[in-house]
Structure 1
Amino acid sequence: MHILFLTDNFPPEVNAPASRTFEHAREWVKAGAKVTVITCAPNFPKGKVFDGYRNRLRSTEELDGITVIRVWTYITANEGFYKRTLDYVSFMVSAFLASFSVRNIDVIVGTSPQFFTAMGAFLVSLLRRRPWVFELRDIWPASIKAVGAISDGPVLSVLERIEMFLYRRASHIVTVTHAFRAELAERGIDASRMSVVTNGADLSRFRPAGGSPALAASLGLEGCFVAGYVGTHGLAHGLETLLDAAALLQEQTATRHVRIVLLGDGARKAHLRQRADELGLNNIVFLDSVPKDAVPSYWGLLDVSIIHLKRDPLFTTVIPSKLFECMAMGVPVLHGVEGESADIVRREKVGETFEPENAGELAQRLTRLVAEPETLASYREAGLAAAARYDRANLAADMLGILRETAGPSRHAGSGAGPISEE
Structure 2
Amino acid sequence: MKILFLHQHFYPETVGTSTRAVEIVEYLVQKGHDVTVVTGIPSHPSTMRSGEVSRTQPRYENFRGAKLHRVWTYGSNKPDTFLRRMAAYGSFMVLGFLKALFLREKFDVLVAISPLPNGIAGLGLSLLRGWPLMFDVCDIWPDCAIAVQMLRNPILIALAKWAEKMVYKRSTRIGVVTRGFIENIAAKGVPREKIRLLPDWVDPDIYDSAKINRHAVREEYGLNNKYVISFLGNFGLIMGLETILETARIVRDTDPDVLFLFVGKGVAQPMMEEKIARWNLTNVRIIPYQPRAKVPALLAASDALIVTYMKNEITLITVPSKIYEYMSSARPIVAGVAGVIEEILTEAGCGLVSRSRDPEELARHISYLKAHPQEGHEMGKRGRQYAIEHFAFLKVAEAYEQTVAETAQK
Aligned to 1:397: 398
Aligned to 1:418: none
Aligned to 2:242: 240
The CA deviation at 1:145 is 2.4
Name stretches of at least 5 consecutive residues in structure 2 with no aligned partner: none
Aligned to 1:315: 315
Residues 67, 225 of structure 1: alpha-carbon distance in 2 compared, 3 angstrom cutoff: farther
Aligned to 1:416: none
Give matches, 1:110-149, under 5 Å. Answer: 110-112=112-114, 114-149=115-150
Give CA deviations for 1:304-360 in whole Å, capped at 9, x if unaligned.
222221012332212222222222221222232212221121111121212254222
Q: Does 1:176 align with 2:164?
A: no
CA contact (8 A) 1:79 1:267 kept: no
Aligned to 1:412: none
Q: Which amino acid aligns with 2:314?
A: L
Cα distance in 2 for residues equivalent to 1:408 and 1:377: 46
Q: Which amino acid aligns with 2:269?
A: K
The CA deviation at 1:56 is 4.7
Aligned to 2:55: 54
Q: Does 1:72 align with 2:72?
A: yes
Aligned to 1:229: 231
The CA deviation at 1:378 is 0.5
3-state SS in 1 of match to 2:301 = coil
Cα distance in 2 for residues equivalent to 1:271 and 1:41: 31
Give CA deviations for 1:48-78 in whole Å, capped at 9, x if unaligned.
4654633457243514x34443432211357
Q: Which amino acid aligns with 2:105?
A: R
Cα distance in 2 for residues equivalent to 1:18 and 1:123: 23
Cα distance in 1 for residues equivalent to 2:106 and 2:396: 26
Q: Which amino acid aligns with 1:379?
A: M
CA contact (8 A) 1:355 1:361 kept: no
Aligned to 2:332: 332
CA contact (8 A) 1:238 1:308 kept: yes
Aligned to 1:371: 371
The CA deviation at 1:46 is 4.8
3-state SS in 1 of match to 2:174 = strand
Cα distance in 1 for residues equivalent to 2:379 and 2:137: 30
Cα distance in 2 for residues equivalent to 1:274 and 1:76: 27
Cα distance in 1 for residues equivalent to 2:224 and 2:45: 31
The CA deviation at 1:133 is 1.0
Give CA deviations for 1:127-180 in whole Å, capped at 9, x if unaligned.
432011111122222222223333363332322222222222222211122222
CA RMSD in angstroms, aligned pairs only? 2.5
CA contact (8 A) 1:49 1:55 kept: no
The CA deviation at 1:408 is 1.8
Give the number of equivalent residue pairs. Answer: 405
Give CA deviations for 1:217-248 in whole Å, capped at 9, x if unaligned.
44332222222222222232111111111111
The CA deviation at 1:298 is 2.4
Moved more, 212-221 or 186-195: 212-221
Cα distance in 2 for residues equivalent to 1:47 and 1:144: 21
CA contact (8 A) 2:13 2:47 kept: no
Q: Which amino acid aligns with 1:333?
A: I
The CA deviation at 1:404 is 0.9
CA contact (8 A) 1:328 1:387 kept: yes
Cα distance in 2 for residues equivalent to 1:292 and 1:44: 19
Q: Which amino acid aligns with 1:287?
A: I
The CA deviation at 1:397 is 0.7
Q: Which amino acid aligns with 1:201?
A: V
CA contact (8 A) 2:39 2:96 kept: yes
Give CA deviations for 1:14-45 in whole Å, capped at 9, x if unaligned.
44623322332222222221223333344552
Cα distance in 2 for residues equivalent to 1:213 and 1:69: 46
Residues 375, 29 of structure 1: alpha-carbon distance in 2 compared, 3 angstrom cutoff: same
The higher-RCO structure (CA 8 Å, 6+ apart) is 1
Give CA deviations for 1:267-287 in whole Å, capped at 9, x if unaligned.
323332233223222222223
Q: Does 1:150 align with 2:148?
A: no
Cα distance in 2 for residues equivalent to 1:41 and 1:299: 32
Cα distance in 2 for residues equivalent to 1:328 and 1:102: 43
Cα distance in 2 for residues equivalent to 1:274 and 1:85: 31
Q: Which amino acid aligns with 2:231?
A: Y
Cα distance in 2 for residues equivalent to 1:407 and 1:296: 37
Cα distance in 2 for residues equivalent to 1:49 and 1:103: 36
Residues 129, 236 of structure 1: alpha-carbon distance in 2 compared, 3 angstrom cutoff: same
Residues 36, 225 of structure 1: alpha-carbon distance in 2 compared, 3 angstrom cutoff: farther
Moved more, 310-319 or 67-76: 67-76
Match of 2:111 among 85, 109, 112: 109
CA contact (8 A) 1:41 1:49 kept: no
Aligned to 1:384: 384
Name stretches of at least 5 consecutive residues in structure 1 with no aligned partner: 410-423
CA contact (8 A) 1:55 1:73 kept: no
Identity of aligned residues (%): 26
CA contact (8 A) 1:28 1:397 kept: no
Moved more, 372-381 or 92-101: 92-101
Cα distance in 2 for residues equivalent to 1:306 and 1:359: 12
Q: Which amino acid aligns with 2:198?
A: V
3-state SS in 1 of match to 2:141 = coil
Residues 298, 323 of structure 1: alpha-carbon distance in 2 compared, 3 angstrom cutoff: same
Moved more, 166-175 or 206-215: 206-215
Cα distance in 2 for residues equivalent to 1:331 and 1:11: 31
